[in-house]
């Protein structure tokens, strides 16, 4: 830990920087981490989260999750809620890959059925789901089709044969957030998005075949409700977003907001936090464009799900229905959402920015599928490709303390450049094969960037929020096959 700021330890895994520590702070900044994770936090986290605490209209606290690390404007793992009447919206609090998120899919296959065919399966998935920088999908959408996808997300996919009717209820916001307006999206963004549907992209995006070991089920009842009840059951996890389309939307509006800040007489501690009042014409336009990218990302993961069903069906020579390939849930972790919370005893409408952070609504929320309301929202947390991932459940305490938010993954401990200096992709491929993980990658250098040593210990990150009661552990998932960009 490198910071000259005063940091108070509130509890075993909760730290607070008082608002007296930086001029302009409107609320305290809070960091969720055990002692080990806290000590390893980079200096950027402390600077950035206290800068966020200075933004107009912020409510209660600026928050950083245990996977927190330096990002653009906000730290990755940052959460902040702003009053919708006098608060702001900031692309730096959402991220360039708008609605980058996670989808978990179950099957009724067992590891003993899949492992002998894992190479064939991964090869087929690699063919069906393009990965890597500049990867183009098999669906090249026309401008009219893409506008329909921007407005309607997963609904468009299902109506056009890329999904089953029951899929939509197992997706955050049913895969379609109302209010998107394609007229607020630039032609350049549209041209970048037209041929990227059904693709993974690069960086830390992946498609992973995983297995459930019986000793890694922590809550059998909740796991069963989520569709996981079998020893050695095979599941599939997808991590990707809106790709170049979302990146262009963010880039376009950062330029708009630079001018808007002068217009409204606003200043920020860091230019990367460029923002506009949420209710302003500029803020409203960005929000509508951001929703276009968010709906496009839901559609991207939906088309990938369709390709997964086709691939499994081909390899196992039976229908996807017979294989029980059903969505558990799909969650966004780079997004801003209008939600309501009790603040100072009164219900208040706020715009929650989640940057590398996952929504984790507790039991009883009407936004959740009826089948999950008794146990809380499924929360999908990806680890590194070497260490496995987790399925968790949201809690009521999260609704009270973190604006219904938790971590999104393990969180990086070193840069991509540093990882490539330490690891060779071809050697990592062999090491993972020895560990029973078959990997297919579009780039050996890209693979090296994603080595397990580049990430925090996923179990420590998950245990932090489990111990605090923000999320509860349900299942740990072990990788056996992975596609990387």
Instruction: Give the catalytic positions in this structure.
Output: 408
- Residue 438 labeled ligand binder: no
Cα separation, 330 vs 298, in Å, equals: 8
CA distances from 23 to 19, 48, 50, 430, 432 (A): 8, 14, 10, 52, 49
CA distances from 257 to 89, 186, 253 (A): 10, 15, 6
Three-point CA angle 227, 233, 238, nearest 5° = 75
283 marked ligand binding residue? no
**Is residue 306 a known part of a binding site?**
no
353 is in an annotated binding site: no
Q: What is the DSSP string of 276-319?
A: EETTSHHHHHHHHHHHHHHHHHHHHHHHHHHHHHHHHHHHHTS-
Contact of 398 with 404, CB cutoff 8 Å: yes
Distance from C-alpha of 388 to C-alpha of 346, rounded to nearest angstrom: 41
Sign of CA dihedral 342, 343, 347, 349: negative
Residue 389 annotated in ligand binding: yes
372 is in an annotated binding site: no
Classify strands 438-441 and 471-484 as parallel, antiparallel or unpaired: parallel
d(CA 197, CA 244): 10
385 among annotated binding-site residues: yes
Q: Is 239 annotated as a binding residue?
A: yes
- Flag whether 208 is marked binding: yes
C-beta atoms surrounding 322 within 10 Å: 12
Tokens of 151: 């407005």
**410 annotated to a ligand binding site:** yes
Which residues, listed in sequence order, are joined to residue 210 by a DSSP beta bridge?
235, 479
CA distance 217 to 234: 14
Residues 6+ apart with CB under 8 A from 14: 30, 31, 32, 468
Q: Per the annotation, does 334 bind a ligand?
A: yes
- Measuring CA to CA, how many Å separate 436 from each of 85, 105, 234, 430? 53, 21, 14, 10
Contact 404, 362 (CB under 8 A): yes
- The answer to the question of whether 484 is labelled as a binding residue is yes
Contact 278, 173 (CB under 8 A): no
Instruction: Answer yes or no: is 250 a known binding residue.
Output: no
In the annotated binding site, the residues are: 97, 204-208, 239, 333-334, 382-385, 389, 408-411, 484
Q: Show binding-site residues for GMP.
A: 204-208, 333-334, 382-385, 389, 408-411, 484
Residue ranges for the known binding site for Mn(2+) are: 97, 205, 239, 333
């Amino acid at each position: 830990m490198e910071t000259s700021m005063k940091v108070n330890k509130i509890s075993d895994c909760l730290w607070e920087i008082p608002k007296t520590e930086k001029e302009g702070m409107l609320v305290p900044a809070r960091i969720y981490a055990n002692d080990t994770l806290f000590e390893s936090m980079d200096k950027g986290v402390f600077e950035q989260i206290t800068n966020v605490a200075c933004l107009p209209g912020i409510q209660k606290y600026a928050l950083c999750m245990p996977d927190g690390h330096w990002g653009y404007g906000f730290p990755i793992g940052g959460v902040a809620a702003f009053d919708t009447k006098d608060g702001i919206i900031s692309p730096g609090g959402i991220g360039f890959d708008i609605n980058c998120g996670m989808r978990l899919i179950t099957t009724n296959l067992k590891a003993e059925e899949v492992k002998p065919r894992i190479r064939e399966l991964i090869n087929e998935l690699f063919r069906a789901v393009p990965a890597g920088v500049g990867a183009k999908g098999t669906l090249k959408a026309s401008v009219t089709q893409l506008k329909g996808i921007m407005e309607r997300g997963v609904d468009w996919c299902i109506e056009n044969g890329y999904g089953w009717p029951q899929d939509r209820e197992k997706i955050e916001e049913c895969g379609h957030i109302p209010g998107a307006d394609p007229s607020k999206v630039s032609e350049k963004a549209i041209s970048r998005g037209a041929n990227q549907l059904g693709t993974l992209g690069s960086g830390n995006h992946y498609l992973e075949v995983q297995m459930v070991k019986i000793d890694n089920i922590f809550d059998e009842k909740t796991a069963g409700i989520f569709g996981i009840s079998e020893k050695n059951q095979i599941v599939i996890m997808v991590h990707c977003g809106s790709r170049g389309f979302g990146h262009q939307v963010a880039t376009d509006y950062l330029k708009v907001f630079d001018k808007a800040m002068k217009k409204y007489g606003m200043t920020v501690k860091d230019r990367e936090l460029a923002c506009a009042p949420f209710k302003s014409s500029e803020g409203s336009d960005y929000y509508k464009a951001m929703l276009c990218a968010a709906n496009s990302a839901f559609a991207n993961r939906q088309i990938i799900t369709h390709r997964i069903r086709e691939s499994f069906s081909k390899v196992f020579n039976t229908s996807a229905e017979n294989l029980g390939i059903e969505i558990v849930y799909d969650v966004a972790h780079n997004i801003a959402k209008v939600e309501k919370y009790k603040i100072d005893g009164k219900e208040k409408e706020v715009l929650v920015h989640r940057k590398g952070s996952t929504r984790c609504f507790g039991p009883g929320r009407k936004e959740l599928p009826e089948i999950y309301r008794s146990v809380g929202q499924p929360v999908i947390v990806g680890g590194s490709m070497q260490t496995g991932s987790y399925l968790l459940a949201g809690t009521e305490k999260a609704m009270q303390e973190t604006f219904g938010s938790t971590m999104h993954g393990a969180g990086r401990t070193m840069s991509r450049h540093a990882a490539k200096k330490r690891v060779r992709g071809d050697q990592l491929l062999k090491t993972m094969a020895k560990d029973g993980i078959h990997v297919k990658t579009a780039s050996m250098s890209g693979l090296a960037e994603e080595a397990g040593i580049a990430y925090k210990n996923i179990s420590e990150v998950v245990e932090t929020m489990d111990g605090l009661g923000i999320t509860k552990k349900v299942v740990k998932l072990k990788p056996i096959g992975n596609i990387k960009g």
